């Protein structure tokens, strides 16, 4: 039987499970379907006049699209990271690495996170769990970022996932102090990132007070990482807890709404499946939308060409919806006329 406590085995499990169909939220959705963009029949521009570029963390993307953090630490993960980073570089998008905890604890796996040879210009996010960051010095974390050439560091928050994970963390204290330290001491920007359960306004206010200016909401409605760990549970008690918490979290659209007006640059991830989801998230106020599972599935089905074709379609859809809402720029899309459904609207801060 595979060792469920081994980091490499956990990464292999995560790839296999996330490429499947039984780790999604059962009843909860992203609520992005409750964002109705209002059609503009007189956009008064040529389709080529649409400028979908956006500035994110100091770099300009050709479209507000991020390939969200997925994996690292195994040979299969290396291939996924390198090929998706290559596509992101070609298309002018951003990409996030999976948790670099494996890289820190097992330096021999560092090569699986390195993508700069394939993607010299891509906007690249490093990734480390908050609990691991608390246990490391800023110099050690700076080295992790430098080793992969990261332009920013995602510090991920995942208490719901950890409490059901075999061997998962239990002490989540001191998190705000970690953010204060890293914002002050790292040479790259820090992104506070959830992992499928969303960020509330109260947490957003705490992060702003700690100096954080960039967040990835990673809300509920897509892959449930509690569900992923439900499949990996090693005791009946852990399995039962994971089943009960399967649908826990703040929907992605609701999380974006909750964080409005706090001065944060928002990346919307968690359940985005297509370009229309990205456009709706931006219309709610996000700077960019991120996709993970659908990109992974496209890569599994068609390799690097499959991932490229999928992401080209995402970009084309975003640009088309910009035209159809009369939005010449991403900033105009953020202000485009929209109608919110009642379930989403009640989350408005």
More confident residue, 79 or 2: 79
Domain boundaries, the chain: 7-345
Q: What pLDDT shows up at residue 2?
A: 53
Q: What is the pLDDT of residues 298-342, one digit of tens each?
A: 999 999 999 999 999 999 999 999 999 999 999 999 999 999 999
Q: SS in 3 state form for the chain? A: CCCCCCHHHHHHHHHHHHCCCCCECCCCCCCHHHEEECCCCCCCCCHHHCECCEEECCEEECCCEEECCCCCCCHHHHHHHHHHHHHHHHHCCEEECCCCHHHHHCHHHHHHHCCCCCCCCCEEEEEEEHHHHHHCCHHHHHHHHHHHCCCEEEEEECHHHHHHCCCCCCCCCCHHHHHHHHHHHCCCCEEEEECCCCCCHHHHHHHHHCCCCEEECCCECCECHHHHHHHHCCCHHHHHHHHHHCCCCCEHHHHHHHCCCCCCEEEECCCCCCHHHHHHHHHHCCCEEEECHHHHHHHHHHHHHHHHHHHHHHHHHHHHHHHHCCCCEHHHHHCCCEEECHHHHCCCC
Q: What pLDDT shows up at residue 37?
A: 98
Q: What is the pLDDT of residues 93-131, one digit of tens each?
A: 999 999 999 999 999 999 999 999 999 999 999 999 999
Please give the share of the chain, as a percent, with pLDDT higher than 70. Answer: 94
**How high does pLDDT run on average in the chain?**
93
> Worst-scoring range by mean pLDDT, 14-28, 64-78, 145-159, 178-192?
14-28
Is the pLDDT reported for residue 8 higher than 70?
no
pLDDT band at 19 (very low <50, low <70, confident <90, very high): low
pLDDT band at 20 (very low <50, low <70, confident <90, very high): low
More confident residue, 260 or 235: 260
CATH topology of domain 7-345: TIM Barrel (3.20.20)
Is the pLDDT reported for residue 3 higher than 90?
no
Is the pLDDT reported for residue 1 higher than 50?
no
Q: What pLDDT shows up at residue 4?
A: 46
């Amino acid at each position: 039987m595979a060792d469920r406590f081994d980091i490499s085995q956990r990464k292999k499990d995560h790839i296999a499970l996330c490429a499947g169909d039984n780790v999604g939220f059962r009843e909860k959705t992203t609520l992005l379907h409750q964002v109705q963009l209002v059609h503009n029949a007189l956009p008064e521009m040529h389709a080529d006049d649409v400028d979908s570029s956006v500035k994110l963390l100091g770099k300009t993307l050709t479209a507000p699209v991020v390939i969200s953090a997925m994996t690292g630490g195994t040979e299969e993960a290396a291939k996924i990271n390198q090929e998706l980073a290559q596509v992101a570089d070609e298309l002018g998008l951003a990409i996030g690495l999976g948790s670099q905890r494996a890289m820190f604890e097992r330096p021999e796996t560092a090569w699986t996170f390195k993508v700069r040879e394939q993607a010299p210009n891509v906007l690249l996010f490093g990734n480390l769990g908050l609990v691991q960051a608390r246990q490391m010095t800023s110099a050690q974390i700076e080295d992790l970022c430098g080793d992969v050439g990261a332009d920013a560091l995602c510090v991920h928050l995942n208490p719901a996932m950890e409490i059901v994970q075999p061997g998962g963390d239990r002490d989540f204290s001191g998190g705000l102090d970690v953010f204060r330290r890293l914002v002050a001491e790292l040479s790259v920007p820090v992104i506070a990132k959830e992992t499928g359960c969303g960020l509330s306004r109260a947490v957003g206010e705490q992060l702003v007070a700690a100096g954080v200016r960039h967040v990835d909401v990673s809300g509920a409605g897509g892959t449930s990482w509690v569900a992923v760990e439900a499949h990996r549970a090693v005791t009946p008690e852990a399995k039962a807890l994971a089943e009960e918490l399967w649908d826990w979290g703040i929907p992605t659209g609701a999380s974006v709404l909750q964080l409005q007006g706090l001065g944060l640059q928002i990346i919307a991830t968690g359940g985005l499946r297509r370009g229309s989801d990205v456009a709706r998230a931006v219309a709610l106020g996000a700077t960019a939308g991120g996709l993970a599972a659908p990109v992974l599935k496209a890569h599994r089905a068609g390799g690097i060409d499959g991932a490229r074709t999928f992401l080209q379609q995402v970009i084309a859809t975003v640009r088309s919806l910009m035209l159809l809402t009369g939005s010449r720029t991403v900033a105009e899309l953020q202000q485009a006329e929209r109608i919110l459904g009642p379930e989403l609207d009640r989350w408005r801060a």
